[in-house]
Structure 1
Amino acid sequence: MFLLALGALSFVFYDGLSYMVEIWGTSEEYSHGYMIPMVALYLIWKKQWEVKESMTTGAWISVPILMFGLVLFLVGELSSLYTIIQYAFLVCFFAIILAFIGLKSFKILLPAITYLVFMIPLPVFLYNSLSAELQLISSAIGVAVVRAFDISVYLEGNVIDLGVYQLQVVEACSGLRYLFPLMSFGYLIAFLYKGPMWIRAILFLSTIPITVLMNSFRIGVIGVTVEYWGIEMAEGFLHDFEGWVIFVGCLGVLVLEVWFFQWLRKGDGSLIDNLDLDLPEETLSMSDLNFTRQTQKPLIACLGLMLMASLALPMLESRQEEQLERTSFSQFPLYNKSWNGREDSLEESVLDALKLTDYFIANYTSKKKDARLNFYVAYYSSQRKGSSIHSPRSCIPGGGWKITGLREHTIDSVISREGKPLNVNRILIQKDGFAQIVYYWFEQRHRNVTNEYLAKWFIFWDSLTMNRTDGALVRVTVPVPDIADIDVYEEQATQFVIDFYPELIKHLPEA
């Protein structure tokens, strides 16, 4: 029954799990993900006899927990968010184990199975925001290292200017490639260390500052070597080699930290004595467990729920969304009032990643207003998993731009399809001394939405109530050559929206 329940769980969550494994294989930040399930199994195996001694009956609380996990899966499935689906898998997995071994045994295994959290990738918007912040922090500390060697250096954002060379601390240098595996390793050390809880908590949490400081030191060393031996020191093999050396250094600092705490606890034995490295003398067999139908009723109930979810899944995936007629963006006007546009296009690799239905991108100018800007709209007839709108707040930091201002802006002279003044997100972004104003919002089935989370909620709700998930992202980008005249460029963006919004809604579904 337990294996059947796990099989049904794997079947229901197959898409979310396969996408997670795909991320492990394509993103260096999560390449350690392959090891996480195996290490978790090892930790569970170490606790097998403790579990056996405390095992009584399955816990009925597992049934509502499993139901919550399945509801969470439904939300993720209908709102096109893989991350929600992957966390829903963990909730359901925890519930099945709880139904199998009972509450007391589950508490023993909880630290071991919680380790599985480290295999789930962060949501894209959170990853990009964290990466952007770490780039800035690492750049600032790295410049301090360079200056410690009496080298003149100037820092602007995440660009380190050495005079002859400029080094940009890009996303790959944010330190996340060290942070995620080091945090998982720190958790493992904390799990195995036989010490007070406060020490174990510090061992785990210290992996964050260790990563930031060591990565910053690496950036500083690259700056110093570039100053003395040229730009090739920041490229190719040497760059990658320095990365490996620093990661090993991070592990070394963590081990030294464990030794330090053990030194503080004088009289408690050696470090090896205080690491739980003992292995069970023999492996638990099914004959060692006393299962009866009475003790396994919660597992039977959970198995029934998972089988029903397995039967319902094909019906959920086969739902055909209502497709409404609309005018293609190929007919979107390039000339309107004083605006003249030149249509552009996205690269095939970008289109493969976006998976949109239709789009329009063009550069517009206006001699009357002395303006130039970029207009982009992406339409999705269906926003299912892997083919949903990409928010600019996630994409902009990935391009090296820093968001320095974000607020909601109301354009009173434009009435949205809801019959209210049009609200847009207004952000100011900067990179390498350049600045741009970006207006963006979501047209979601006659709604004017500016909040990304609310947009996802409406996808879920409308999928349930209207059988529709279509929507569009609208973006206007205006270069700002002189930040002192920012009000002028903001007026240009506003005027463009006023002039083109009536044209935009003609190319979206009417109903």
Structure 2
Amino acid sequence: MPPEQSTLPAPAMAAGSVPADWRAPLVALVVVSFALMLATVSSWGEMFHQWWAIDTYNHLLLVPFIMGWLVWLKAGELTRIAPKPFWPGLVLVVAALCLWLAGRASGINLLAHAGAVVALQAAVLSVLGLRAALLLALPLAMGAFLVPFGDEIIPPLQFVTAEIAVTLVRWSGVPAQIEGLHIDTPAGLFIVAEACSGVKFLVAMATLGVLVAFTRFASWRRRALFMAACVIVPILANGVRAFATIYVAQSIGAEAATGFDHIIYGWVFFAIVLALVLAGAWRWFEREPEQHGWDAASLAKWDWLSRAETHALAPASAVLATCSLAAIAALAAML
């Protein structure tokens, strides 16, 4: 995901002013996207269910809107180029659909979901071309966050949270013993359950971190530091939250403290930590969001890009080939 520096913000495209040479390619993109989503509909249904019904992934409902906003910011730059279908993109479509089929066959939803998402990303490359895909590098990369992930790191996060909490409890003067995920204190026995692992907080912060890092920073060093903060801070903060629950329970009882903790963590705590992270980074912001990524003038200087665009494909062929691949994948999934 290599968005680079731009000196001036691109002018926004006025509503209803889609250039003539973009109209057919955009219609083609809608057609192939529908075909690919129809072919992989089972995975898209599973992903939407997770976004909607599982609170760990509720924030992913915002990702399509974030992607749309990022594309809108690049609309002016897109009008400065002409879309050129790129046949090597079809190779990525094939690879993505194979990944989807492998995930369905093996029962590994993460692979199937990733394949369904990458197929759409590859379709943009195939239908709109390499130059357009480079201009849209950040919104396309944000598409990776449509894939629900994070369950795999719940167990280690539980142990980290337990260790931070028991260390702080002991420092506060409250006697405590720990055995695995169980913390025994005078007020009762506390268990760092999956819901207390902080994975929801961490995944949401990582998503926000990528968005902010590549829209507000130009320096890779600052991006790396900000991303590190978006990983380390929520982990530490979750340990502090668990400690606070145990400490307060010594006075008001374990049941009351736990109930209060869930309300505060769900509605207030995340917002406070998020605000603190953004406030801490604010003074080092280097650019405005519309300056993210490359601009058309920068891409025009890349000789290799012009050479790569000789691998062109007729627009109708791009649509026919992609839709055919989607149909083949759908049939293969039914066998």
TM-score of the pair, normalised by structure 2: 0.79
- For structure 1, which runs of at least 5 residues remain unmatched after alignment? 263-270, 280-293, 320-511
Match of 2:324 in 1: 308
Aligned sequence identity (%) = 22
User: Any residues of structure 2 matched to 1:38-53 within 5 Å, and which?
Assistant: 38-53=65-80
Say if 1:243 and 1:314 are closer, same or farther in 2 by CA, change over 3 A.
closer
Indicate the RMSD between aligned Cα atoms, in angstroms: 2.4
Say if 1:250 and 1:299 are closer, same or farther in 2 by CA, change over 3 A.
farther
Partner of 1:235: helix, strand, or coil?
Answer: helix
1:196 & 1:214 partners in 2: Cα distance? 27
2:190 to 167, 180, 183: 167
1:242 & 1:92 partners in 2: Cα distance? 36
Say if 1:53 and 1:203 are closer, same or farther in 2 by CA, change over 3 A.
same
1:55 shift after superposition: 3.8
Partner of 1:155: helix, strand, or coil?
Answer: strand
**Structure 2 residue 241 is matched with structure 1 residue 218:** yes
Q: Does the aligned pair in 2 maintain the 1:83–1:120 contact within 8 Å?
A: yes
Aligned partner letter, 1:180 = V
Q: Does the aligned pair in 1 maintain the 2:74–2:290 contact within 8 Å?
A: no
Say if 1:53 and 1:205 are closer, same or farther in 2 by CA, change over 3 A.
farther
Match of 1:156 in 2: 179
Aligned partner letter, 1:297 = L
- For structure 2, which runs of at least 5 residues remain unmatched after alignment? 1-27, 293-309
1:171 shift after superposition: 0.4
Match of 1:59 in 2: 86
Count residues in correspondence.
291
Q: Does the aligned pair in 2 maintain the 1:187–1:204 contact within 8 Å?
A: yes
Say if 1:16 and 1:71 are closer, same or farther in 2 by CA, change over 3 A.
same
Match of 2:110 in 1: 83
Mean alpha-carbon deviation: is it higher for 97-106 or for 24-33?
A: 97-106
User: Any residues of structure 2 matched to 1:364-375 within 5 Å, and which?
Assistant: none
Say if 1:104 and 1:278 are closer, same or farther in 2 by CA, change over 3 A.
closer
Partner of 2:79: helix, strand, or coil?
Answer: helix
1:207 to 210, 230, 248: 230
Match of 2:6 in 1: none
1:56 shift after superposition: 5.2
1:310 shift after superposition: 4.3
User: Any residues of structure 2 matched to 1:96-135 within 5 Å, and which?
Assistant: 96-122=123-149, 127-128=151-152, 130-135=153-158
Asked which structure has the greater RCO (Cα within 8 Å, sep 6+), the reply is 2
> Residue by residue, what CA displacement relative to the aligned partner does 1:289-335 show, whole Å, maximum 9, x if unpaired?
xxxxx99735433322332234435643543xxxxxxxxxxxxxxxx
**Structure 2 residue 98 is matched with structure 1 residue 71:** yes
> Residue by residue, what CA displacement relative to the aligned partner does 1:176-211 show, whole Å, maximum 9, x if unpaired?
010111111111111220431221222123211111
Match of 2:265 in 1: 242
**Structure 2 residue 49 is matched with structure 1 residue 22:** yes
Partner of 2:136: helix, strand, or coil?
Answer: helix
> Residue by residue, what CA displacement relative to the aligned partner does 1:87-130 show, whole Å, maximum 9, x if unpaired?
112222122111233222211211121111112112xxx724x1
1:311 & 1:218 partners in 2: Cα distance? 50
> Residue by residue, what CA displacement relative to the aligned partner does 1:44-92 show, whole Å, maximum 9, x if unpaired?
1111122232445222221211121222222223223322222112222
TM-score of the pair, normalised by structure 1: 0.53
1:276 to 277, 285, 289: 289
**Structure 2 residue 58 is matched with structure 1 residue 31:** yes
User: Any residues of structure 2 matched to 1:317-332 within 5 Å, and which?
Assistant: 317-319=333-335
2:254 & 2:269 partners in 1: Cα distance? 20
Mean alpha-carbon deviation: is it higher for 51-60 or for 15-24?
A: 51-60
Say if 1:299 and 1:149 are closer, same or farther in 2 by CA, change over 3 A.
farther
> Residue by residue, what CA displacement relative to the aligned partner does 1:339-391 show, whole Å, maximum 9, x if unpaired?
xxxxxxxxxxxxxxxxxxxxxxxxxxxxxxxxxxxxxxxxxxxxxxxxxxxxx
Say if 1:194 and 1:177 are closer, same or farther in 2 by CA, change over 3 A.
closer
Match of 2:39 in 1: 12
Aligned partner letter, 1:92 = A
Aligned partner letter, 1:40 = M
Say which one has the larger Rg: 1
Say if 1:318 and 1:69 are closer, same or farther in 2 by CA, change over 3 A.
closer
Match of 1:440 in 2: none
**Normalized per residue, which structure has more helix?**
2
Say if 1:226 and 1:88 are closer, same or farther in 2 by CA, change over 3 A.
same
Aligned partner letter, 2:89 = S
1:46 & 1:295 partners in 2: Cα distance? 28
Match of 2:251 in 1: 228
Aligned partner letter, 2:29 = F
**Structure 2 residue 313 is matched with structure 1 residue 297:** yes
Partner of 1:160: helix, strand, or coil?
Answer: strand
**Normalized per residue, which structure has more strand?**
1
Aligned partner letter, 1:302 = A
User: Any residues of structure 2 matched to 1:419-498 within 5 Å, and which?
Assistant: none
1:216 shift after superposition: 0.3
Aligned partner letter, 1:29 = T
Match of 1:476 in 2: none
1:195 & 1:314 partners in 2: Cα distance? 42
Partner of 1:161: helix, strand, or coil?
Answer: strand
Mean alpha-carbon deviation: is it higher for 251-260 or for 43-52?
A: 251-260
2:104 & 2:332 partners in 1: Cα distance? 9
2:130 & 2:62 partners in 1: Cα distance? 27
